[in-house]
Amino acid sequence: MKSRQIVLGIAVLILGASAVGFLVTDGPRAALSPALGAIVSGVILYKLVRNPPAPTRWTRHRVMASAAILGISGLAVIVTLVWVLTVRPEWPIRIVAVIGILLVPTLGLWSVRMARAEDRAARLSGQEPSTE
């Protein structure tokens, strides 16, 4: 699926730019974490491009488990960002919180779309559902 490759590519770019920015402004110690994240994401992206995973069908159990985990974690992030929005008076932090609040449901809908596309591709290939 190209979606995973796109997301990892964007993550590598953002983490790489963050590492360079932290290196310039705060020094090598501040750039260490984003640089390691960029390296790990780059290795995963390389392996994903070299050996793409076969699409798997989504069983009822997998759908329910994913919905529970993503729903609870998304709700926790939104609640935290709303708290930040009400507590912090600085306007740049509030703008970032509003962007985050809008981004969480967008990413949730995008992940549902990606899962449906993977399930559709697995059904078209005639693959049986896994026993997860």
Task: List, for residues 57-104, the tens digit of each pLDDT value.
Answer: 888 898 899 889 989 999 999 999 999 999 988 888 899 999 999 999
pLDDT at 127: 62
**Which of 91, 88, 90 minimizes the C-alpha distance to 80?**
88
**Concatenated DSSP letters for 10-42?**
HHHHHHHHHHHHHHHHT-HHHHHHHHHHHHHHH
For 12-27, give one letter per residue: b (16+ CB within 10 A) or e: beebbebbeebbeeee
Spatial separation of the C-alpha atoms in residues 107 and 84, rounded to whole Å: 20
- Confidence (pTM): 0.64
* Local confidence band at 53 (pLDDT 50, 70, 90 cut-offs): confident
Instruction: Give yes or no for a contact between 109 and 71, defined as CB atoms under 8 angstroms apart.
Output: no
H or E stretch including 89? none
**Which of 81, 17, 11 minimizes the C-alpha distance to 3?**
11
Whole-angstrom CA distances from 117 to 31, 73, 87 are 37, 23, 40
